[in-house]
């Protein structure tokens, strides 16, 4: 499977509790934080929940 890199680009202020939980599970929480995970259906669902807060790309 390919890896997916995530970078938080917007604040979680005003986000729902579910969106905050998704950010925590993605090891994000502050603007500028990055993390990388193997691609999976679970990951895609979490990304969909916070797509307006993160940028998705390939790891460097």
- pLDDT tens column, 2-25: 999 999 999 999 999 999 999 999
How sure is the predictor about 1, in pLDDT bands with cuts at 50, 70 and 90?
Answer: low
Q: What share of the chain is helix, strand, coil (3-state, %, to 5)?
A: 30, 25, 45
Rounded distance, CA 39 to CA 13, Å?
27
Domains contained in the chain, CATH given? 3-57 (3.30.1390.20)
- pLDDT tens column, 24-54: 999 999 999 999 999 999 999 999 999 999 9
Note the pLDDT of residue 39.
95
């Amino acid at each position: 499977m390919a890896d997916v890199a995530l970078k938080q680009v917007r604040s979680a202020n005003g986000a729902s509790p579910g969106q905050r939980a998704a950010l925590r599970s993605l090891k994000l929480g502050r603007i500028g934080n990055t993390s990388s995970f193997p691609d999976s259906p679970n990951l895609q669902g979490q990304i969909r929940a916070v797509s307006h807060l993160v940028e998705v790309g390939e790891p460097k």
